[in-house]
Amino acid sequence: MKKLMLTTAIAGLALTASAIAQTTITGEIRVSHKAIGSEVGSGSTTTSGRGFGTEQQINFANKGKLNVGGLDYAAGFSIENDGSQTTTLFNENSYIDIINASSGTTLSFSVDHIQRNDSDRSAGNIFGFAPSEFSSGGHTSLMSATPGPGVGQSQSVAVIQDIGKFGKLAYNYAPTTTVRTDGSTTGSGSSETFTETNEKSAYEISFVGNLGVQGLTVDYFTSKQNQMSGVAVKSEGQNIGVRYNTGALTLGVARKVWNDDGATKIETTEKNYGLAYAVNKDLTLGLLHSTADNNIAGTTSGVETQKLTAIQLGYNLGPVALTVGVARNTDLNGVNGQDSDMIMTRLVGAF
């Protein structure tokens, strides 16, 4: 009887919370097409391909008031399927945030949620496809979607602080990272347990804001992971970017520096430069130029600079957005003559 009464009380508490909360459901679907042709130094075509890809995502969000301290809360998760996904569908935008509106402070228990240094974030990539997307396929690329340890893509706890009208400062801590610099997944677990691996804890400090200047966006991220047992190098990353919009014109530049854990320290520096022009409320044109270099400790042998140049077009079709990009890669992965050409198209529908 006591057990039944307890269960009923908990159910009543959940219903009471829902009655004073606000729940929303949104979603997105993406259909993309990629065509790529790659070459080696001799000029012979070694890799080519074309095909469609798709991604679906549903977002559940709930927000309201806590019954203590006048605090607000926000909670939610997303169900995401990238193509025919064989791994978890629930590793994106999962969070419970405790918010003190009066001080502008948020405590976030989350994964893939707060401002973070991954997922192709670059102030130089103003819209459309990111450098890592344009350089993937055919050959290995020096450009990465996750520069440094994947703190924001691991289950973590973060403190986010509003700094007036200047922006947001955040400190994010992951007891065990589950996404490495190369994007591979390392750790996993069930709802109450986890799988401990050789991966160590990591942190990321970030600032995103306009510094009080209208049209300006400044990004700064720095992340470090504790050195793993038996590994000579610890993973680190830094991302600094500036973007400025004036009327129809937007300019952006970003610099990323990172190294993965390994036997030899290989430091990669990526630079992105972007320009976009809004022809009208529906049509936007853009240019993207990126370079990437490897600095290998103790090595003086020449490694070529990987270069990417792309033209992009974005068109607003109302409930659907269209992006088309054409890119040329040279010396992919720092290898002389290892080039590729790519055309990418994406349709995005939101609901």
Q: Which pairing describes strands 167-174 and 92-100: parallel, antiparallel, or unpaired?
A: unpaired
Q: What is the pTM of this model?
A: 0.83
Overall average pLDDT of the 215-223 stretch: 94
For residue 333, the model assigns a pLDDT of 87
Model confidence band, residue 120 (pLDDT cutoffs 50, 70, 90):
low
**Residue 22 pLDDT > 50:** yes
**Residue 46 pLDDT > 90:** no
For residue 346, the model assigns a pLDDT of 96
Residue 318 lies in a domain: no
Residue 6 lies in a domain: no
Residue 41 lies in a domain: no
**Residue 336 pLDDT > 50:** yes
More confident site: 186 or 73: 73
From 21-35, 131-145, 294-308, the region with the lowest mean pLDDT: 294-308
Residue 177 lies in a domain: yes
More confident site: 298 or 246: 246
Overall average pLDDT of the 253-260 stretch: 90
Model confidence band, residue 67 (pLDDT cutoffs 50, 70, 90):
very high
Residue 45 lies in a domain: no
Residue 115 per-residue DSSP state: S
From 11-15, 256-260, 322-326, the region with the lowest mean pLDDT: 11-15
**Domain span at 87:** 63-190+197-303
Contact between 314 and 323 under an 8 Å Cβ cutoff? The reply is: yes
Residue 37 lies in a domain: no
Residue 56 lies in a domain: no
Burial class (CB in 10 A: 0-12, 13-18, 19+), 79: middle
**Residue 119 pLDDT > 80:** no
For residue 82, the model assigns a pLDDT of 80
**Residue 12 pLDDT > 60:** no
Q: CA 350 to CA 26: how far, in whole Å?
A: 8
Residue 86 lies in a domain: yes
178-208 pLDDT per residue, tens: 665 555 555 444 445 555 566 778 899 999 9
Total domains, the chain: 1
More confident site: 325 or 179: 325
CATH number assigned to the domain comprising residue 218: 2.40.160.10
Overall average pLDDT of the 32-53 stretch: 79
Return the structure tokens found at 66: 């806590």
Ranges of beta strands (E only) in the chain are 22-39, 45-65, 72-82, 92-100, 105-111, 156-163, 167-174, 202-209, 216-225, 236-246, 249-259, 266-278, 283-296, 306-316, 320-330, 339-350
**Residue 4 pLDDT > 80:** no
